[in-house]
């Protein structure tokens, strides 16, 4: 693995990207690697990155940014032999956390030199790519408001969630999977290929990222008095212990939202609107990812 491409998001995190690029180049050169760089602009990034990869194929592509940058690079290399590396620079860094990748970018850079390759499942949600977590309902609303704001970080997310909570009205969903059906109101529902949100909420505890299935994690409406206990369980891997939660294990699903032609969703931290019904499917072991050698559960 000699030729490496680093995809940099100029606005993620609070690290000077010019200094980071210099540090990356020096680290790679000292270990016989050649580093090249690709900067995102927010304009046709996926198409431009795919064109770049076709013209100058690297041995691995590192996403240096937040969850959106990771998802962008993952989609670009999905289904190929080129692995994804992650240098976490965002507010959440959810996939990096689930894979045991150091959150310090300098430590994560060691993946250039020492790593294992793990093959992960990916999702298609309403025809759109997702590799980590996608959801509808309350969290999607908060993520959308967060995305519109200028302030980043956990404190901004908590502030928005607190503001939106009191007036939030849960929608009613009808879910058909290859195994069962479910219907009713939900505070939020998450299509989970992974375990943990960037906020450290464990929405899908203990579920592998490479088992060929995904989970729909439901939180049904709950009284205000139950909120503290529910929140505690979400931060301590106790999702299944609440009477207001349920998980559906499936390979594919169709989700209809009562009275709605489209639904607000978030996919890997990026908000969007999806037409309903929303079709969800798993793509088993379709993404190769570099992970620390000591933490890989499945290796190649």
- Condensed to tens digits (0 to 9), the pLDDT of residues 259-277 reads 899 999 999 989 999 999 9
d(CA 147, CA 29): 37
Q: How is 179-198 classified by DSSP, letter by letter?
A: S-EEEEEESEEEEESSSB-T
Predicted local confidence at residue 111, as pLDDT:
93
Residue 146 — very low, low, confident or very high, per pLDDT cuts 50/70/90? confident
Q: Where do we find the tokens 């270990």?
A: 31
Residue 155 — very low, low, confident or very high, per pLDDT cuts 50/70/90? confident
Report the percentage of the chain scoring pLDDT > 90. 76
Mean pLDDT for the chain overall: 91
Is the domain 3-114 a CATH 3.40.640.10 member? no
Tokens of 252: 């594919």
Tokens of 36: 């090249």
Does the pLDDT at position 153 exceed 90?
Answer: no
Does the pLDDT at position 147 exceed 80?
Answer: no
Predicted local confidence at residue 215, as pLDDT:
98
Cβ count near 224 (within 10 Å): 8
Please name which of 6, 117, 118 lies closest in space to residue 56, comparing C-alpha atoms. Answer: 6
**DSSP structure class, residue 236:** T
> 160-204 pLDDT, tens per residue?
888 888 899 999 999 999 999 999 999 999 999 999 988 889 999
d(CA 153, CA 13): 9
Please name which of 293, 284, 91, 85 lies closest in space to residue 193, comparing C-alpha atoms. Answer: 284
Does the pLDDT at position 298 exceed 90?
Answer: no
Is the domain 128-285 a CATH 2.60.200.40 member? yes
> 54-109 pLDDT, tens per residue?
999 999 999 998 888 999 999 999 999 999 999 998 878 889 999 999 999 889 99
Mean pLDDT, residues 131-145: 93
Q: How is 111-128 classified by DSSP, letter by letter?
A: GGTS-EEEEEEEEEETTE
Ranges of each domain in the chain: 3-114, 128-285
Predicted local confidence at residue 157, as pLDDT:
75
Mean pLDDT, residues 126-131: 96
């Amino acid at each position: 693995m000699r030729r490496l491409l680093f995809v940099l998001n100029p606005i993620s995190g609070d690290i000077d990207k010019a200094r980071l690029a210099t540090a990356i180049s020096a680290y790679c050169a000292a270990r016989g690697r050649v580093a090249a760089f690709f900067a995102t602009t927010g304009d046709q990034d996926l198409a431009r990155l795919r064109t770049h990869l076709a013209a100058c194929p690297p041995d691995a592509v590192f996403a240096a940014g937040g969850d959106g940058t990771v998802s962008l690079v993952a989609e670009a290399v999905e289904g190929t032999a080129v692995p994804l590396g992650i240098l976490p620079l965002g507010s959440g860094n959810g996939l990096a956390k689930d894979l045991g990748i150091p959150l310090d970018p300098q430590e994560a850079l060691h993946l250039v030199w020492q790593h294992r390759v793990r093959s992960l499942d990916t999702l298609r949600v309403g025809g759109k790519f997702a590799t980590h977590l996608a959801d509808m309902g309350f969290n999607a609303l908060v993520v959308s408001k967060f995305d519109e704001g200028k302030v980043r970080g956990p404190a901004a997310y908590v502030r928005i969630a607190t503001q939106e909570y009191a007036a939030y009205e849960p929608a009613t969903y009808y879910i058909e999977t290859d195994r069962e059906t479910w219907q009713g109101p939900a505070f939020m529902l998450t299509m989970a290929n992974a375990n943990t949100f960037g906020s450290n909420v464990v929405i899908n505890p203990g579920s592998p990222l490479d088992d060929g299935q995904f989970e729909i994690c439901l939180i049904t409406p709950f009284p205000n008095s139950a909120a503290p206990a529910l929140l505690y369980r979400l931060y301590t891997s106790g999702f299944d212990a609440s009477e207001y939660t349920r998980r559906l294990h499936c390979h594919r699903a169709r989700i209809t939202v009562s009275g709605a032609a489209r639904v607000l969703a978030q996919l890997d931290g990026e908000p969007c609107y999806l037409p309903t019904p929303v079709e969800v499917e798993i793509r088993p072991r379709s993404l190769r990812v570099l992970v620390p050698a000591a933490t890989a559960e499945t290796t190649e």
